[in-house]
């Protein structure tokens, strides 16, 4: 598995397409707490996590339960850990749960890349 993360509008998907030869992309939705593992790339993981928050599920547990389906995939997530802590409880829960999901994914990943202004910095 490859994990790509970075700020909003930094070129994460374009980077993944170039570096990991992404062909089929599943775009996560904030109202669906499931992933389509038939695609080679999972994009906007933070929206999947928000759906999990809304349904009271732990995203990291879902990812652990589906670790075999994640093999060979590229997972792209916007870094939402920076800046001011949100006042809304749901948005704080989103930040915390996204952090736990990313901790799990980066531990399991073959490669982890941070993208800034379209440039990738290999972390792992």
Alpha-carbon separation of residue 68 from 7, 37, 106 (angstroms): 28, 10, 15
Q: What is the pLDDT of residue 84?
A: 87
pLDDT tens across 23-48, in order?
999 999 999 999 999 999 999 999 99
Q: What is the pLDDT of residue 55?
A: 96
- Cα atoms in the 13 Å half-sphere on the side-chain side of 45: 32
**Dist. CA 3–CA 121, nearest whole Å:** 12
Reported pTM? 0.95
Domains (ranges, CATH) in the chain?
A: 2-122 (3.40.50.300)
The CA angle 30-100-13, to the nearest 5 degrees, is: 55
């Amino acid at each position: 598995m490859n994990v790509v993360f970075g700020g909003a509008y930094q070129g994460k998907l374009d980077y993944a397409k170039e570096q990991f030869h992404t062909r089929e992309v599943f775009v996560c939705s904030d109202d669906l707490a499931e992933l389509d593992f038939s695609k080679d790339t999972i994009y906007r993981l933070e929206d999947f996590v928000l759906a999990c928050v809304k349904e009271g599920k732990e995203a990291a547990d879902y990812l652990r339960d589906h670790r075999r389906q994640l093999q060979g995939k590229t997972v792209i997530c916007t870094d939402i850990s920076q800046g001011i802590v949100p006042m809304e409880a749901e948005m704080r829960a989103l930040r915390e749960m996204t952090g736990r999901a990313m901790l799990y994914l980066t531990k399991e990943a073959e490669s982890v890349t941070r993208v800034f202004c379209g440039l990738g910095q290999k972390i792992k």
